[in-house]
Chains A and B, each alone.
Chain A
Amino acid sequence: MSFLDIEDLAVHFGGVKAVDGVSFSVERGEVFSIIGPNGAGKSTIFNLISRLYRPTRGRIRFDGQDITELPAHRIAPLGIARTFQNIELFDHSTVLDNLLMGRHVHRTTNVFQDILFLPRVRREEREHRQRVEQVIEFLELEAYRKKTIAGLPYGIRKIVEVGRALALAPKLILLDEPASGLSVEESREVAFWIEDMRRDMGLTVLMVEHDMNLVAAVSDRVLALANGRPLAEGAPSEVQADPAVRAAYLGRREVAV
């Protein structure tokens, strides 16, 4: 059995079939990308995996466990972290606090210990901080540690969100358009991180992305979607060459790329 198994997944909103019978599996340590035109159902799949939506049918299995019926807040403790297409950070907190919030699943103290701030709480705070500092170093966020999110530029916020997901120390990270709105240099940077995440942190990466250069550079396998249905799956070059994919992106007639 694979690391992440999606089996005949479907979600219908009334008559709209946002995702309709998608199956794929992601192996441990793999970078798997989902591509497709707008409205293909890419982000919807993410929302299904992170249990924000309830699937109409199908099963989601992660690391041998069926997570189809779990409540949303039980997903993170299993080791799944994600980012959002439209950044969802805690705007009134600092970068440091945002990253510390990512450590929530590793918390072992309860509210009463917190109120009394027992030595154990301080010990745990130091530990969280140390882990967060590693993430800050990895993403080179040192200069922004104490800055409030609301005042930061878009590119930095995007990175902070990745940092928050990494602070969770996940096994699987879902990146929803990590390079959207970034400059060419910045998205090249993203490619390096994804490589490092896979190689040094042993993460499995599931990514939704429009930037084909990035997808081709980092992905082991690619799944192309259109109108909630799978079009093609395979190595990046295979998928890019697939006639059905070309038709979905560029229209019916063959056009040389």
Chain B
Amino acid sequence: MKNDNSMAWMLVLPALILLCIVGVVPLLAVFNYSFFDIFTLQDRFWVGLEWYGDLVGTPELYHALGRSVLFTCVILAVQFPLGIAIALLLPQQTYTSSFFLIVLAVPLVVPWNMIPIIWLNLINPDYGLIGYGIKAIGWDFDYKFNALHTWILIVLMDTWHWVGLVAILAYSGLSSIPQAYLQAAAIDSASKWQVFRFIQLPKIKGVLMMGLLLRVMDSLMIYTEAFTINAGGPEGATSFLSLELGEEIGGFDYGPAAARSVLYFLLVLVVAWIFQLSLRRQNEKEA
């Protein structure tokens, strides 16, 4: 690799300027608001760290964080094994696999605010396809008032939405494995599990990292879909981090909302940093 600082920075500059406008400047503004009690933007009072104190000092924040982390763990535990399994099912480089890649990508292009609507329609006991099924087996499914059922619905919906991304990424890793590796394994009469464990899994680790990062953050901060399903209910059982923030902004509590935003951004930064470290370690191991 060459060292050529000025040239490299020249090339990066346009992207950096754009990101400053849409990222850095708004972040600084949020940081600034978080120290004020804001009635209108002209009419505001310095309150120092009061909002931060309120946030950190009450248990609600930790409960919401706990719910979000649990949700993320469930999502990862469901979507990664499932996505990898789907990728392993697909035949390599044929019309069938192209067809399935297209099918898997379809939920990704559905507008996010329509995804909960589609699912609420599906489980509607009067005309939903799944609703009929639930009624037929006599299951007392109540996503409005039963917390477990709300969770099942949101996890199912999120899996439908995103498992395709995991599968596509895993498939892309699998198709980069040279045939010779698999032939050598066949000669050594390796079992399916051994092939997966020692050849396929190491090869798809890199792309899965990207999927992991996207899924961790998007599920940790899930907003639109979860809110439309049950507005955080029943009794706050699905009130995740972003939902609480959305509520504050909706209620025009800009000061506390800004303080919360700053905390969330710090959380994002920590996750990104941990992720970068592990990525670098992995790359060094390969090099």
State whether these chains interact.
Answer: no
The chain B residues found within 8 Å of chain A, CB to CB, are none
The chain A residues found within 8 Å of chain B, CB to CB, are none
